[in-house]
Structure 1
Amino acid sequence: MSQLKDIYNEDFVQKLINTIKTAAPAFDRDKCRALIFQEDWPELALKQRMRRITDSLYETLPKDYTQALDILYQAAPHFTGLSGIVFPDYVEQYGTGHWEKSMKALEMFTRYSTSEFAVRPFIRLNQERMFSQLLVWAQHPDEHVRRLASEGSRPRLPWGISIPSLLSDPAPILPILERLMQDESLYVRKSVANNLNDISKTHPGLLSRIAAERFGSHPDTDWILKHAHRTLLKKGDKQALAVFGFEDTPAITLECFTLHTETVSIGGSLLFSFQIRSSGRHKVRIDYAIDYVKSRGNRSRKVFKISEAVMNNGDVKAFSKHHAFKDLTTRKHYKGIHTLSIIINGTVKASLDFSAQ
């Protein structure tokens, strides 16, 4: 089975060194290839392979940073998607001493791949200066550059270098996000929502205050705020639920909650059904949670969204759901007694146990 690290393979490297050779006839392809494909290459993970390629380019490109960038500028447009992060990675590794040239390079390279990881060392080096640049990028006509302003400043950027100062105080991020709250690009708006979701994990009240002030001001802003609250909504945070009109109310009742089997095989699926009834007009968010048995016998809850709806007086909605118990890269299943719960507007209405075998 192909792995993500295999985006850096023989074909990629051959295309890369051939493209650079076209831009720089003196480039030593054979030396670069030998430096990349050392004996440990098959065992290297994705980012290790990326860094090996970056370091090999450094050894075979001109040592003058400006000359090396001129060559990389010509090559980068031929490599889009995740594999293209080798170009901003070159800037991350060898450009921190050349601020202005590096900012120009990151702005250019992000249009073909993403420079979100490469800006992180610059934030650590000089947060105030880097955030001034991010504010400029937040107004750029290219959506990829605007997204870089948001994605690069995320407190919890996956795979990115940690920025402890942003985890403890996300205030510097907010002016950047403010400029993007009505962005025309969904690509950008998703990044803004992910950034705010990151913030919510350590500063939930801050996100709720922003939503209380801004929700209803613009459809694109509303989408961002709703998506940004996904973690808090799944946690049943009452302040977050109230922002979107999901009030806890006894007028929504759960009926006919049924497990169609009391035992599920690991690798199989669990079938359950229920219905809800409303005795007034209410906005309703329906989730279910499973308390999974873990390897040491303890349990861990995972919440899954089912639906959102507006229900009028006397409305009844029926639901039937299959939940897969197949092992994933992010979750392994274990034998034992698990618990399934139905959650309405953040409140657990009922729970049933079942056995996984």
Structure 2
Amino acid sequence: MTTENSPALLKDILGPQALATIADAGSAASPRFDRAAFLSAASDGLDALSIMERVRRIADALAAALPADYATALPVVRTMAPHLTHGFQAVAVTEYVARHGLDDFDASLAALADLTRYGTAEFAIRPFLAHDPDRTLAVMLGWTRDDNEHVRRLASEGCRPRLPWAARVPALKADPTLGAPILETLKADPAVYVRKSVANHLNDIAKDRPDWLLDRLAGWSQDEAATRWIVRHALRTLIKAGDPRALALIGVGHGAAVTVQRFAIEPATIRLGDRIAIAATLASDARDAQSLVVDYRIHYARAGGKIAAKVFKWKAFDLAGGESATLAIRQTIRDFSTRRHHIGRHAVDLIVNGRVMATAAFDLSD
């Protein structure tokens, strides 16, 4: 997922129509659901709220509309889920469990395993992990054997140390490897949906405990294609950084026997919103084929003469001995909520197997 500062229309996923759909689901689930109370509470000040603020507002509005007794309300919430029409509606419903169900642990976690099939309960599980990490992780480990891929994914995604948009869990912050038994069970999962979560979880760990991650993945057999895929994607941050051990785990040497015949960026001067074309030609200096991982790094000009660099994936491929390969890619230089551009020179590095092989540049003008 992206951040709460994403384009303004994102929050409208939980706009008036979504509120009406949730209200309809509540009314269909139980005659005790107070539709008017829900719509009044959920709509109050809605325009000013971000997407995740709306999630929390809807959860509190559900509490106003459902029976006051949580044990009585929870079956109504579970019955509502199949009537929802968007995953974020389900996220809002699971948030009700997170905000009101901590004192009914077993029933709440069973509900989250059910509700996650309709959206995701990855945010709603976090308060339970914060409240009782050992007990919650034990339940989540059991989810890894569930027949439903959404439940298995929740086991991994819910305890990611750096889950985007989610509250940090103190226990995971102190030890980001607590989910290791879950990841071990899911390391060859047949579902791409689950494997992406496992890889992202491992990549989170790489940012805090890289040596632990490299030691753990070195012990994984990569005979199965599913596990190989996870390993490669889990190592992406370390590969971008040119870590020799990470490169070795995907069968790539640190550096390569290649000559850069051309590395160019066109046009040389652009304005914000324009597109640059990056081209490179690599010639093999070796007799045998080489596995290459080619990335590029842009050194963004910042205010006050400072520089901020970001590495972008380009291509991974095998280059036959004595052969050459030409690569090309285009990138639009535009502002994002997470990146603002400044006029000035932007150097660009060509990185092959973790080493800078050439540098070019473009100028951003006003």
Deviation of 1:296 after TM superposition, in Å, equals 3.8
- Equivalent in 48, 70, 74 of residue 65 of structure 1: 70
Check conservation: 1:107, 1:145, Cα contact below 8 A. yes
Partner SS, residue 303 of structure 2:
coil
Aligned-residue identity in percent: 37
Partner-residue secondary structure (3-state), 1:201: helix
In 1: Cα distance, 2:71 partner to 2:345 partner: 62
- What is the aligned partner in structure 2 of residue 30 from structure 1? 36
Deviations 1:152-206 (A, max 9, x none): 1100011111023223323321111111011111111111001000000011112
Aligned position for 2:174: 168
Instruction: Tell me which moved more, 205-214 or 182-191.
Output: 205-214
Q: 2:158 aligns with which of 142, 152, 163?
A: 152
Is structure 2 residue 209 aligned with structure 1 residue 203?
Answer: yes
Q: Contact 1:215–1:225 (CA<8 Å) still a contact in 2?
A: no
Q: Report the AA paired with residue 313 of structure 1.
A: G
In structure 2, the partner of 1:75 is: 80
**Is the contact between residue 183 and residue 198 of structure 2 (CA under 8 Å) also seen in structure 1?**
yes
CA 1:36/1:214 → structure 2, altered by over 3 Å: closer, same or farther?
Answer: same
Confirm whether residue 271 of structure 1 aligns to residue 277 of structure 2. Answer: yes
Partner of residue 349, structure 2: 341
Query: Equivalent residue for 2:244?
Result: 238
1:299 maps to 307
Shift in Å, 1:67: 1.2
Asked whether the 8 Å contact 2:25–2:81 carries over to 1, the reply is no
Q: TM-score, normalised by structure 2?
A: 0.93
Q: Specify which of 188, 194, 215 is matched with residue 200 of structure 2.
A: 194
Match for 1:317 among 314, 325, 339? Answer: 325
TM-score normalised by the chain length of structure 1 = 0.95
Structure 2 spans left out of the alignment, 5+ residues: 1-6
Is the alpha carbon distance of 1:163 and 1:31 closer, same or farther for their aligned partners in structure 2, counting shifts above 3 Å? closer
**Counterpart for residue 261 of structure 2:** 255
Q: Which moved more, 1:234-243 or 1:206-215?
A: 206-215
Aligned in 2, Cα 1:63/1:274: closer, same or farther, shift over 3 Å? Answer: same
Give the Cα–Cα distance (whole angstroms) in 1 for the partners of residues 54 and 149 of structure 2: 28
Structure 2 residue 34 is the aligned partner of structure 1 residue 8? no
Q: Give the 4+ runs in structure 1 shifted more than 3 A.
A: none
Letter in structure 1 aligned against 2:300: Y
Q: 1:18 to 1:274 in 2, by over 3 A?
A: closer
Deviation (angstroms), 1:2: 6.2
Picking from 186, 189, 193, the partner of 1:183 is 189
CA shift in 2, pair 1:34/1:250, >3 Å = closer
SS in 2 for 1:247: coil
- For 2:56 and 2:228, locate their aligned partners in 1 and report how far apart those are by CA, in whole Å: 39
Residue 225 (structure 1) shift = 0.6
What CA distance in whole angstroms lies between the structure 2 residues aligned with 1:221 and 1:248? 22
Q: Provide the C-alpha distance between the structure 2 equivalents of 1:68 and 1:305, rounded to a whole number of angstroms.
A: 48
Query: Is contact 1:253–1:276 with CA below 8 Å preserved after alignment?
Result: yes
- Going from structure 1 to structure 2, the CA distance change for 1:351 and 1:30 (only over 3 Å counts) comes to same
Alignment of 1:89-108 (within 5 A): 89-108=95-114
Structure 1 range deviating more: 250-259 or 338-347: 250-259
Match of 2:4 in 1: none
**Contact residue 167 and residue 199 of structure 1 kept, 8 A:** no
Secondary structure at 2:118 match in 1: coil
Residues 319 and 22 (structure 1 numbering): CA distance in 2 closer, same or farther, change over 3 Å?
A: closer
Q: Secondary structure at the match of 2:262?
A: strand
- Per-residue CA deviations over 1:199-228 (Å, capped at 9, x if unaligned) read 000111122122222142311111011011
In structure 2, give the amino acid aligned to 1:173.
Answer: G
Q: Which runs of 5+ in 1 are unaligned?
A: none
CA positional deviation for 1:230 = 0.9
Q: Hey, what's the Cα distance between the residues in 2 that align with 1:124 and 1:84?
A: 22
Give the Cα separation in 2 of the matches to 1:171 and 1:320.
39
What is the CA deviation profile of residues 85-116 of structure 1, one whole-angstrom value per residue up to 9, with x for unaligned ones?
12210110000001111111111111111111
Q: CA RMSD in A?
A: 1.6
Distance 1:162 1:14, change over 3 A: same
Q: Matched residues in 2 for 1:17 and 1:50: separation?
A: 14
Show the counterpart of 1:139: 145
Q: 2:52 aligns with which of 15, 25, 47?
A: 47
Rounded Cα–Cα distance in structure 2 between residues aligned with 1:222 and 1:249: 21
8 Å CA contact 2:295–2:312 kept in 1: the answer is yes
CA separation of 1:133/1:26 partners in 2, compared to 1, >3 Å: closer, same or farther?
closer
Measure the CA separation in 2 of the matches of 1:211 and 1:270. 37
